[in-house]
Amino acid sequence: MQVKNAIAHTRKYLQHSYSDERLLLQYLQTLQNLNQNISASDLQSLENLTGIPVYAARQVIDFYSFLTYEDPVSYRILVSDNIVDQYQGSRELMRWFKQHLDDRHVAVGTTSCIGLSDLGPGILVNGRLISRVTESRRESIRQLIQTRTPLSAWPAEFFQVNHPIRKSGLLLDDQQPGGTALAAFSDYEPEQALQTIQDSGLRGRGGAGFSTATKWRFCRQETADSKVVICNADEGEPGTFKDYVLLKDKINLVIEGMIIAAKIINADKGFIYLRGEYLTLMPHIYRALESYRSQGWLSGSFDIDIHLGAGAYICGEESALIESLEGKPGIPRNRPPFPVNSGYCGLPTIVNNVETFANVSLIFIYGAEHYRQHGSKNSSGTKVLSVSGDCRHPGVYELSFGTRLSELLQMAGATEVQAVQIGGAAGHLIKPEHFGRRFDFDDLATAGAVMIFNQQRKLLDVASNFADFFVHESCGFCTPCRVGTTVQSKILHRFQHHKAAAQDHDNLQKLVQLLKASSHCGLGSSAGWISESLLNDFPEVFNLPDNEQASAAFFDIDSALLEARNLAGHQ
């Protein structure tokens, strides 16, 4: 009965028709959110009802972090474990929860960055975000759990996420009522509209900076009965949260950008792929879609469904995202074919970032010429950045392209800065001599995560944390990323604990090159950037002791004896 209801509940909010296979991940998400667990009997019922074999469902569960099998609890607390969260006390918070909620109905663990680095320490309780878990708040949470209070009866303010907007520009300042972009767009023929986007110079905000008009033109040229527009709202990069703000405050611009895209490429299917961490935004986005439906902007000829991710950073990669939308593990596809030619279920598909769609709306509201006046020569418009770490004013900053990093640091009140990580874990660590560099596709190209580290911080802690993130998030498909990310992590941890050997330094250099050259997708090829940054710009962190350790490669007596000690019961 429960599984039947979960299937009905999942389908109730969807406009397109799907096979059960395509909705497998969504069914599993619904079951997980219902019970904080998926049981063997759930999977058997699912097989009986849909014909999807238990083993096929297990394959999906085993891939996604937020899906758990046969691990029944009433409360699942996941503490965000980005390095910036750790600086705000996340590890201490986790210890506290483990100590004070020693209860078989409660599971406490860590998870990759949940998008609260400016409001840390942040946690997920049964999939719902709670920011700023202070001492008084954690005590309240403990009491609520001990009294078995359902989350629906917890204080509403616990679930409010208010990222501070520190600086706004063209996008965040926009106050036009919903429908303005669509009304302006209605004056254009599709070809003319595409030309307008091209004239605006808009480039994708997901980080790579590909020309939006070019991507859409490729897809427009495809002849197919059905085409697909996907909004990538899977912002999983550690240290980023700006898409949360756009989805919450500027959802009209995002939806209108998607509708414009659909009209240009002639699409009938739309998706917002929302990261599982942002589950609580789902009703808000759904209500916004409903209002566009009631005005006739979304209908049978083009409509948008929300699909939820389930804790897999790799699904931010566009072809992995498409696999996930198809209900499968998010393993990036081989290219060619490219999504514009063959994407979701083989249909021509465009995938763009939340911020890109919002910018498309701005271009039609204000005109390409006005839009171009913001930004720099090859990077028009503004960039919304997520700023966290060691500064007085963490939060969201919207800057014109071309702004220098040093200007941002000044605005954020960051002093005694040792280094700034631009682009999240898959980014580069910038040293003070380079703070004059500019946010621009030709210079510091980024999807928007900026993490600031002062002189008290140990950069090897930062690098080890990012390396661990890649170990956790590698999909494991290709050799270099599956194995190389773990080797990288082990080496960095040895340096962190002063147990490294000369060979580790050489191996790290080799790994960085190997990951870049041979990985299957962008996750693998960027997984070594953090080590590369340290090797090139902060070589002093790798100082090796001048002793016999240099020859004791890999050997750590404590870990070698650990198993024997455990067996013998020695501490």
What does the alpha-carbon distance between residue 363 and residue 102 come to, in Å, rounded to a whole number?
A: 54
Piece of the chain touching another protein by CB under 8 A; list 29-37, 126-134, 216-224, 466-474: 466-474
Query: Is residue 541 a contact residue for another protein (CB under 8 A)?
Result: no
User: Are 141 and 475 within 8 A, CB to CB?
Assistant: no
Judged by CB under 8 A, which of 483, 502, 560, 561 binds another protein?
483
State both tokens at 556: 């750590």
> Closest distance between another protein and the C-beta of residue 113, in Å?
17
Query: Is residue 519 a contact residue for another protein (CB under 8 A)?
Result: yes
Q: Identify which of residues 277 and 473 has a Cβ nearer to another protein in the complex.
A: 473
Q: Where are the beta strands (DSSP E) in 58-193?
A: 75-80, 106-111, 123-125, 128-130, 165-167
Query: Is residue 59 a contact residue for another protein (CB under 8 A)?
Result: yes
Judged by CB under 8 A, which of 479, 536, 543, 566 binds another protein?
479
Query: Is residue 146 a contact residue for another protein (CB under 8 A)?
Result: no
Q: Identify which of residues 106 and 508 has a Cβ nearer to another protein in the complex.
A: 508
Query: Is residue 143 a contact residue for another protein (CB under 8 A)?
Result: no
Q: Identify which of residues 245 and 310 has a Cβ nearer to another protein in the complex.
A: 310
State both tokens at 322: 């498409």
Query: Is residue 505 a contact residue for another protein (CB under 8 A)?
Result: no
Piece of the chain touching another protein by CB under 8 A; list 141-149, 264-272, 279-287, 508-516: 508-516
User: Helices 354-366 and 190-200: crossing angle, nearest 10°?
Assistant: 100
User: Are 481 and 418 within 8 A, CB to CB?
Assistant: no
Q: With H, G, I as helix, E, B as strand and everything else as coil, classify residue 539.
A: helix
Helix %, strand %, coil % for the chain, to 5?
A: 50, 15, 35
Q: Site residues for another protein, window 216-235 (CB under 8 A)?
A: none
Piece of the chain touching another protein by CB under 8 A; list 48-56, 134-142, 204-212, 288-296: 48-56
> Closest distance between another protein and the C-beta of residue 31, in Å?
18
> Closest distance between another protein and the C-beta of residue 220, in Å?
23
Judged by CB under 8 A, which of 221, 226, 513, 566 binds another protein?
513
Query: Is residue 336 a contact residue for another protein (CB under 8 A)?
Result: yes
What does the alpha-carbon distance between residue 280 and residue 412 come to, in Å, rounded to a whole number?
A: 28
Judged by CB under 8 A, which of 224, 282, 345, 471 binds another protein?
471
Judged by CB under 8 A, which of 35, 39, 74, 486 binds another protein?
486
Query: Is residue 495 a contact residue for another protein (CB under 8 A)?
Result: no
CB atoms within 10 A of CB 208: 13
Neighbouring residues of 105: CB distance < 8 A, sequence distance ≥ 6: 73, 74, 75, 148
Contacts 24+ apart (CB under 8 A), 124-127: 124/76, 124/77, 124/78, 124/80, 124/277, 125/75, 125/76, 125/77, 125/151, 126/33, 126/36, 126/75, 126/76, 126/151, 127/32, 127/33, 127/66, 127/76, 127/276, 127/279
- Positive or negative CA dihedral for 382, 386, 390, 393? positive
Query: Is residue 55 a contact residue for another protein (CB under 8 A)?
Result: yes
Query: Is residue 528 a contact residue for another protein (CB under 8 A)?
Result: no
Q: Identify which of residues 38 and 265 has a Cβ nearer to another protein in the complex.
A: 38
Query: Is residue 201 a contact residue for another protein (CB under 8 A)?
Result: no
What does the alpha-carbon distance between residue 130 and residue 160 come to, in Å, rounded to a whole number?
A: 7
Query: Is residue 53 a contact residue for another protein (CB under 8 A)?
Result: yes
Neighbouring residues of 563: CB distance < 8 A, sequence distance ≥ 6: none
> Closest distance between another protein and the C-beta of residue 232, in Å?
20
Query: Is residue 58 a contact residue for another protein (CB under 8 A)?
Result: yes
Chain centroid, CA 286 distance in Å: 20
Query: Is residue 551 a contact residue for another protein (CB under 8 A)?
Result: no
Judged by CB under 8 A, which of 257, 480, 500, 531 binds another protein?
480
- Element spanning 246, H or E: helix 242-249
> Closest distance between another protein and the C-beta of residue 519, in Å?
7
User: Helices 54-63 and 24-35: crossing angle, nearest 10°?
Assistant: 70
Query: Is residue 490 a contact residue for another protein (CB under 8 A)?
Result: yes
User: Helices 282-294 and 242-249: crossing angle, nearest 10°?
Assistant: 40
Residues that bind another protein (CB under 8 A): 53-56, 58-59, 62-63, 65, 312, 329, 334, 336, 471-480, 482-487, 490, 507, 510-511, 513-514, 517-520, 554
